[in-house]
Structures are given as structure tokens and as C-alpha cells.
Amino acid sequence: MPIRFAYHPGNVAHSSAPEVDETMRAACRSLDIELIDMPGATSCGAGILGQANRRLQITLNARTMSIAEDLGMDIITPCATTAATLYEDLMMLKADSSLMGEVNRTLEKTTGRVLEGSIKIRHLLQVIMEDIGIENFSKKVKNPIPSPLAPYYGPNLQQIGLIGGDDVFDPWYMESVIEAGGGDPIRYASRTTSAGTPGIFSEEQTVLRQSANILSDAKTMGARMMISACTLSHGVLDIYQGKASRSTGLNTNLPIIHFCEYIAFLTGNFPTRLAMLKTRVAVIGD
């Protein structure tokens, strides 16, 4: 009997990070998780929309969550930013009944929908650890990746209340998954710190230093590859890697994949991509 979730692919899985959506679907199939699409769900706003108008972001997210409520399911997402933004907005609404009332009035007037606030927001990592269980997960591993791997959580996912039983600042969920996948989890200090992603356009130099520090930190501790739980940070840590190295003089050359890709590979999907990845891991680095 599969576990069923309403599926929110995150902000950029439809455009600049299609591999996240592709591998999320494959990974969930292998893990016996059934994803129910929400074709009406909007972007979560990623906190950026909230800087223009917070009420607007909350109301749009209330609409998305009400779609999941209509399905009678919790939301699952592979994106740490989406998980955090939806969770924060849901918590804000549940803690403030007058805000909930006002948002619902707007929602009802404009869409005919109402949010009760009965759902939960889950990241794939949390579902693996708390719903599937690490022992059951390890049985589904078909293609172990026996390398020193650096987990990257970022600050969005690691919030009190959002990540269940994990430690916010000294987490171990992804480390457990890496161990189950035959890898050697690298413990490095900056794995929950921000890569500065929301500021990549406006504060590029600061963000380059932030991301270079994370990559260099992981590399110094012996990582051969990084696994990111955050789709947006994944983009910055990967695409701006070379620029960050030139800007800071740090060695940042490190393959980085998204958590969904990692899970999909472990569970036997996309063997050719996994072979390519292994080659890259072998080639890149010191």
C-alpha cells in the first residue's frame, strides 16, 4: 500500500531544474510513494514574493494548501525552500486566528476555497526517515554509492518543527540516508548555513563567498560529492561554483547533485546517469 501525498515540485523544477522533478517521480515510485499532482499549485514565493507583499504570499500559499486539503493529503516536496515557506505560512495562519479569518475571506471571495489548516508539509528526506524508516529504505538500495559524500541541508529545511526529530543545527537525517546508501557522510560545519541564494542577483559577491565557503568546507573535510536538499541552493552551489572559486581563491570544485537525484540513483533508476556521475566524481577534484 503506497503512501500518498499531494505533490509540490518546488519553484524551478518546471524550468531550470527539470532533473529534480524527473528524479523525484522515479525515486518515489521506487520507495512506494504515490505522488498526486496539484496542477493548480503556484510557486511558494520562496520568501521573495513576501518581500513585496507578505499577505499576498500567504494567501497564494493558503490556496495551494487548500488544494491539498481537498485531496485529503499532506504535501510532499523535494525543495527545502518550498517546504519551509509553506510550513512557515501555515504555522503563521494556525497561530493567528484573525489572520486565518482574513486570508480565508479573501480566498473565498476570489476562489471559493477555504483553508482549514489540517495538512502537514513534508520534505522527501523527512518522509524517508519518519514514514518509510531507514531500515526499510536501506532494503530498497540497489546501486550503493560508496564515496565520501557531503550532505547540504541549508537553513530553510532546518527549522524547529519542520524537520521532525532531526537536530536543526547538527542534523543526522541525511547522514543516515547516505550511510544506508553505502556512502561515508562527511560532517562539516557549514552544512546547514545559507548559501545566500535569495541574494544571488543583488549581492553576488557576498553570495559567492558564502557558497565558496560551504563547498570548500566540505571539500576540505574529504567530500567527493555534495548532495543538496535544497533545489535553489543546488543551483547556486553548482552553477556559480567556478565563479565562486575565482572570487575567493578557495578550491570549490565539487560535483553536486540534488537529494532526489541521489535517491533515484540509489534505488536503481537512471543507471546511465549514475555511471556518468561516477565518472565525474572520479575526474573532478584533487
Partner 1 sequence: MVLGIFSVYIEEGCITCDACEEAAPEVFEVTEDTCFIKSDVRLDGGFDRNDSKSGLKTEVVQTYSDDILDAADGCPVDVIIVVEAKVDEVEVEEVIVEAEVEVPIAAEATQVSADIEGLDAFLSAGDRTLNIFFGSQSGNSEQLASTFAKRAGDYGLEGIVHDMDGFDIKKMASMRRVAIVCSTWGEGEMPDNAEALWQAASSKDAPDMSGMAFSVLSLGDTSYELFCQSGKDWDGRLEQLGANRVAPRVDCDVDYEAMATEWAQEALTMLSAVDDSGNLQEELIEAIREMADGGASVADGEDGFIIPDLTSDEIEVQLSVFRYDPHEKTSGSDTWLCSLPGHLTLLESLRAIQRTHDGSLCFTDGSPHDPNTAIVVNGRITLPGLSRIETLSNGRPGALNLHLEPLPGYDVIRDLCVDFGVLTKKREEASLWHVSRTREAIRSEQGTLIGSMDPSEAIALHKMSDSFGAQVLHSCSDSIAYSQSYLGPSVCLDLWVKRTDSRTSTKRAEEIDTLLGGSNAILAETDLAPIGRQPLAGKEIQSALSDAKTRALELNGYNGRHGKHVWWYAWTMKSSGRVNDTVLYRQVLGPLGLLSNLTSGVTARMLTGFTRTGGKMVNDILALVAPPAGIGKMPRQFNKRVDDHYEVVSIFNSLDSRF
**Residues in 67-126 at the binding interface with partner 1, rule: CB under 8 A:** 84, 88, 106-107, 109-111, 113
48 binds partner 1 (CB under 8 A): yes
Instruction: Kindly identify the residues of this chain, within the stretch 22-41, that bind partner 1 according to CB under 8 A.
Output: 22, 39-41
Angle, CA 232 vertex, CA 69 and CA 143 arms, to 5°: 85
Q: Are 8 and 66 contacting, i.e. CB atoms less than 8 angstroms apart?
A: no
11 binds partner 1 (CB under 8 A): yes
d(CA 123, CA 166): 12
What is the greatest pairwise CA distance in the chain?
59
* Minimal distance, residue 4 CB to partner 1, in Å: 19
Handedness of CA 199, 201, 203, 204 (dihedral sign): positive
d(CA 91, CA 88): 5
Q: Are 46 and 91 contacting, i.e. CB atoms less than 8 angstroms apart?
A: no
* Minimal distance, residue 1 CB to partner 1, in Å: 28
Give the contact letters, 244-273, x = binds to partner 1 (CB under 8 A), - = no.
--x-------xxxx---x--------x--x
DSSP 130: I
C-alpha cell at 94: 494556525
> Which range binds partner 1 by CB under 8 A, 28-36, 68-76, 116-124, 237-245?
237-245
Nearer to partner 1, 32 or 170 (CB): 170
Radius of gyration of the chain (CA): 19
* Minimal distance, residue 66 CB to partner 1, in Å: 10
> Which range binds partner 1 by CB under 8 A, 24-32, 136-144, 202-210, 216-224?
202-210
CA 166 distance to own-chain centroid:
15
Nearer to partner 1, 3 or 148 (CB): 148
Order of strands across the sheet that contains 256-258: 184-185, 148-152, 225-228, 256-258
Nearer to partner 1, 77 or 158 (CB): 158
> Which range binds partner 1 by CB under 8 A, 130-138, 152-160, 177-185, 216-224?
152-160
> Which range binds partner 1 by CB under 8 A, 26-34, 118-126, 138-146, 276-284?
276-284
Give the contact letters, 162-181, x = binds to partner 1 (CB under 8 A), - = no.
---x-xxxxxx---------
Nearer to partner 1, 75 or 200 (CB): 200
Residue 272 burial (CB count, 10 A): 7
DSSP notation for 208-245: HHHHHHHHHHHHHTT-SEEEES-HHHHHHHHHTHHHHH
Binding test (CB under 8 A) with partner 1, winner from 2, 56, 142, 144 = 56
Question: Which H helix or E strand runs over 282?
Answer: helix 271-283
d(CA 286, CA 22): 31
> Which range binds partner 1 by CB under 8 A, 125-133, 143-151, 161-169, 216-224?
161-169
* Minimal distance, residue 176 CB to partner 1, in Å: 10
Nearer to partner 1, 181 or 255 (CB): 255
